[in-house]
Structure 1
Amino acid sequence: MTKNKGNPENLRPFTTDREESLTERLNLRVTKTMKEKLSIKDDPPEFCRRAIQKALDEDEQSNLDS
């Protein structure tokens, strides 16, 4: 007899409308305060992605200016 646990929706392939799909994972450590502040955001992962992209863009621009 099989156990009918889980959600069949999770078995569907993930699709996105992004220009570049999110295939990679990144794990990082943050302070408790940072985690608490992130947890109250509407979409914490997207907030982090935007913050990282902004920092990368600024870093690239400063390297071009040098």
Structure 2
Amino acid sequence: MPNPRGNPQNFDNQPSKELTEQLNFRVTKEMKEKVKAQDDPPQFCRDAIQEALDKQKRK
């Protein structure tokens, strides 16, 4: 039976970084629908968060 949480090597993250933590937050219904419409919603969220963190770091 496959791991329901996925395998880190299947995601676009560095091999040494495992995806072990979860983050939950509230969004509007419209935001949720737009995110769910993405090809890979979890990766889309990870990329968006990382982009915002990188942008904040450059300030």
Instruction: Report the counterpart of residue 48 of structure 2 in structure 1.
Output: 51
Rounded to whole Å, the distance in 2 between the matches of 1:26 and 1:48 is 11
Instruction: Report the counterpart of residue 33 of structure 2 in structure 1.
Output: 36
Identity of aligned residues (%): 51
Instruction: Report the counterpart of residue 4 of structure 1 in structure 2.
Output: none
Q: Which runs of 4 or more aligned residues in structure 1 lie more than 6 Å from their structure 2 counterparts after TM superposition?
A: none
User: 1:15 offset after TM fit, Å?
Assistant: 4.9
TM-score by length of 1: 0.70
Rounded to whole Å, the distance in 2 between the matches of 1:56 and 1:43 is 20
SS of 1:9 mapped into structure 2: coil
Answer 1 or 2: higher relative contact order, Cα 8 Å, separation at least 6: 2
Note the residue ranges of structure 2 that are not aligned, 5 or more in a row.
none
Instruction: Report the counterpart of residue 16 of structure 1 in structure 2.
Output: 9
Counterpart amino acid of residue 29 in structure 2: K
TM-score by length of 2: 0.77
Note the residue ranges of structure 1 that are not aligned, 5 or more in a row.
1-7
Q: How many residues align?
A: 54
